[in-house]
Structure 1
C-alpha cells in the first residue's frame, strides 16, 4: 500500500507517497547506438530474456515435481546461495537477531538464521505449487473471517511468515476473494509469474503504491475485502513492526487504520506457519474493531500502536520464518 501523505506541520515526520513506476524498455535500435546504450539494450533484450526463459522453465518445471521435493530443493538452494552471494543481508539478519533475541546464545541465533535461509529458499520454489500446499494446510479460527465479512467490509492483515501465499486459496474458498496490493518482483518473467499465480488463485490485484489506495477504498466502501501486509521492508529497511522503536506513520500500519476508520472495516489479522517441510498451519486472530474517537484522526497513532501490538509478538515468536529478517532495523 502507499505511504501516507503528510498534511500536519506537527507530529511524526512523514514522507511523500510512493508511486511505483515499471522499468522502461530500451528500444531495440539502442543496440546500434553508443556503448552505454548498447550495454543497457543488450542487458534488457538479450541477457534479460535469457534469464526470463530460465525463470519460466524453472517455474513450470517445478509444477511437475512432487511437493516435498520441490520445497526441499528450495531449502538447499537457500542455504547455498544466501550465505555466499547475499553477505550484506546475512550481516543485517545477524545484527537483528542480536537485538531481538538478546538472551539467546550465539549458537541458538545461528540456528535461527539457518532456518531462515531454508524458509526463504522454500518460498521461492513453492510458488509453483501454492495450490497444492494450501489444500494440505490445517486452518484455525476461520470463523473470524466469515463472521466479520457478514457484518461489513474486511481488511485482511497478513504477515510474511511461513509461506503467506497459501492463504489466498482459503480466503477465496471462504468467499472473501480480497484484492491485494503488491509490488511486482524484479525481472519481467518473475513479475508475470507472480501476477499469473495470484490471479489464478482468485486474488484481485491492486496497483502498487499510492495508485492502489483509491481502488482499495472503493472496494471497502462497497462492502468488499482487501488484503494488506503490515510487516514490511521498504528500500531494505523494516518499517513494521516497530520492535521498540518510536511508532511512525509511514507504512502500511497507518494505511490500514486510516482505511478502517474511513470505511468502518473490521481488521482481521492472520498468518501462516510452516510446521514441517510442506506442512502448514494457518491462524486467524481475534478481529480488531477500532475504538470510537470523538474527533477524526485523534486516535491515529494509538490505532497504529494497537495494530502493531497484535502483529509484533507473532513475528518475534517466529523470526526464523519471517521474510524481512535480513532488512535493516
Structure 2
C-alpha cells in the first residue's frame, strides 16, 4: 500500500495539469477561459492514446460503422464540450449568475413548481450530457433550489474544488452511499428537490437498454418517486450556438408505473438526446462494463 505522504504527492501531481490550465489565464473573460479549457481537453483527446482508446471502445459499441476519422473528430469534440463543462462546474458560483445564457422550456418545469406549491418534493433526473448544472441554474432562476447527488472524487484536490462548485448550484449536496441515501430521503420527505445523474454504471443495478445495449442501471430514483409519490422529471441542458448558451428542457414527469419501466423511459429519453448530439455526452464513463 502507498504511504499517506506518497499518495498525497501523487494526488498533487495528477491535479497539477488541471490546476495550471485553470489558473494560467485568470485574467481572461469567463467564456474565453471556458473555451480555453475546452481546447485543452480537445488536444488531450487527439494526442493522448489512453484517452483515445477509452473513447474508441465506447463509441464503437454504439457507432460500429462510423469511419475512424469521423469517430476521432467526435472524440475531440466531446473533449471540447467536457472541458467547458468542467470549467463551468469549477466556477459554478459565477456560472449561476449568467442568467442571460439560459433558456427554459418544457412541461416539467411547471410540474416542478406545482409540486413545490403543494409542499411535495421532486426528483430531477439527467445524465452527463451537455451542461447538467444549467438545469439547477434554471431551477434557481425560478426561485427554487435543487440539491444534488454526487460521487466523491478520490483525489482530495479535485474533490475540494468539485464539491465547492456543485454546492454553489444548490444544497444539500449528498454523496452516494448509505449515509447520503438517508439524508436524501429526509430531504425529499421535507419537500425538497434533488437532481440525480442516472447514466453511471451501478454494479448492483438492473440491465436496462441504453443506446441500444444493456447497461447496469440504478433504479433508486424511480423507487423513491414511487414510494413517496413524487414527480420524476427528466431534464437536459444542451449547449447551443457558440457553446456559451444553454437550452434547458424539462420533460413531462415520467408516469408512475414500476421502477424498471420508469428507468427504461429515462434511458430512452437520454439516448435520444445523445444520438442527436453525441459530442455532448461524456463517453468515458465505462457505461457498459460488466453488463
**TM class by smaller structure:** 0.7 to 0.9
Structure 1 segments unaligned to the other structure (5+ residues): 1-35, 292-298
Q: Does 1:100 align with 2:62?
A: yes
> Which of 139, 155, 169 is matched with 1:201 structurally?
169
Per-residue CA deviations over 1:214-245 (Å, capped at 9, x if unaligned) read 2212222222211111112469xxx8762333
Q: 1:159 to 1:48 in 2, by over 3 A?
A: closer
Q: Distance in 1 between matches of 2:208 and 2:162?
A: 23
Q: Does 1:280 align with 2:249?
A: no
> Which of 234, 243, 255 is matched with 1:289 structurally?
255
Tell me the TM-score normalized by structure 1.
Answer: 0.72
Structure 2 segments unaligned to the other structure (5+ residues): none
Between structure 1 and structure 2, the one with the greater Rg is 1
Per-residue CA deviations over 1:65-90 (Å, capped at 9, x if unaligned) read 312321222122112223444x3442
> Which of 35, 39, 49 is matched with 1:76 structurally?
39
Q: 1:131 to 1:281 in 2, by over 3 A?
A: farther
Aligned equivalent of 1:148: 112
Residues 112 and 320 in structure 1, CA contact (< 8 A), matched pair in contact too: yes
> Which of 221, 237, 240 is matched with 2:189 structurally?
221
The equivalences for 1:227-306 within 5 A come to 227-233=195-201, 242-246=210-214, 251-252=217-218, 254-275=219-240, 276-291=242-257, 299-306=258-265
Q: CA RMSD in A?
A: 3.0
> Which of 92, 96, 105 is matched with 1:130 structurally?
92
Q: Does 1:212 align with 2:175?
A: no
Per-residue CA deviations over 1:77-109 (Å, capped at 9, x if unaligned) read 112223444x34422322333332345444433
Counting matched residue pairs gives 278
Residues 161 and 322 in structure 1, CA contact (< 8 A), matched pair in contact too: yes
Alpha-carbon offset, residue 190 of structure 1: 1.7
Q: 1:288 to 1:309 in 2, by over 3 A?
A: same
Tell me the TM-score normalized by structure 2.
Answer: 0.81
Aligned equivalent of 2:6: 43
Instruction: Considering Cα pairs closer than 8 Å and 6+ residues apart, tell me whether 1 or 2 has the greater RCO.
Output: 1
Q: Secondary structure of 1:232's match?
A: coil
Q: Distance in 2 between matches of 1:178 and 1:153?
A: 10
Alpha-carbon offset, residue 191 of structure 1: 0.9
Alpha-carbon offset, residue 182 of structure 1: 0.7
